[in-house]
Amino acid sequence: MDKYQRIDFRDQISKNKRKSFFLILIVLVFIVALGYVISMAFSPMYFTMIMIIAIIFSILYIVVSYYNSHKIAVAAVGAKKASREKHKMFFDLVEGLTIASGLPMPKLYVMPSAQINAFASGRDPKHAVICVTQGCLDRLERRELEGVLAHELGHVGNYDIRYITLVAVMVGMVAIISQIFLRSLLFGGGRGGDKKNMIFIIIGIALAILAPIVVYLVQMSISRKREYSADATAVKFTRYPEGLIRALEKIKHEHAPAEKKVNKAVAPLFFANPFKNLARTHPKIDDRIKALKRM
């Protein structure tokens, strides 16, 4: 069988959504397992207190992130509002894509960077922003830029920012629970010194150390799956995968330095990893190109 057998972009979107849902279940399993071990090593009331604290912190985090995600992202990279006179092609392409996709017009921003890159943010399509680097505007041809912008609108249409925020909150809960558990051991928080409790304490320590690492890797994996989904959605909007493929090939061969001004918390939002190979927030460019060639 031909390894490049063509697939429908709708199948690619559905496949990646199923994988992302499965990965979220893994994070939930770690939260439940960690909670169970802590409740066995300590009193149930102690575990209840940990969960209440974790939930309060998580709710505050998600509320602030949910309503201000687009402002935080734009401010974090020093982007400025795009000008219709100065960035006419940028506006024209996004307007055309919003008509084709049925999405509302997002606010447009330009980030001062020589890299070819872009990102989308916002809690829903009505509050979305799309930001591109100056390098993206200067070095991409019209159809290539259209592919990148369609990808970012794909994130908007798929509600990826809301999804990524949910995952970040779950990861944060695991980190908070783990830290409270580990620190409590310094103050002798166990409920007795029998062998059974010691076993659960040892298991709890192992989980508290490993769980944040595992769920972080799961978070990165979910981020990569969403990139494949956005690529497939871009093909749905443009019906022309070649433009996106050419843009990815230019990024693959560009020699612009890693983007030092970008906060690592914002990196998963970008079209391509702004830190080159320093993080695993995105799929390999070659893998994305192969998937697009099959559509």
Each residue of 195-241: pLDDT tens digit?
Answer: 666 777 787 788 778 877 877 777 777 778 889 889 999 999 999 99
The reported pLDDT for the residue numbered 50 is: 64
Neighbours of 106 (CB within 10 A): 24
Catalytic residue among 152, 227, 242, 259: 152
Each residue of 232-271: pLDDT tens digit?
Answer: 999 999 999 999 999 999 999 887 666 666 766 677 778 8
Alpha-carbon gap, residue 200 to 166, rounded angstroms: 29
Q: Has 254 been annotated as catalytic?
A: no
Structure tokens at 226: 């969403």
Q: Token pair 């989308």 is at which residue?
A: 120
Helix (H) or strand (E) holding 130: strand 129-133
Q: Which residues pair with 131 in a beta bridge?
A: 109, 119
Each residue of 79-136: pLDDT tens digit?
Answer: 999 999 999 999 999 999 999 899 999 999 999 998 999 999 887 888 899 999 999 9
Highest mean pLDDT among 59-63, 102-106, 159-163: 102-106
pTM comes to 0.74
Confidence of residue 2 (pLDDT cuts 50, 70, 90): very low
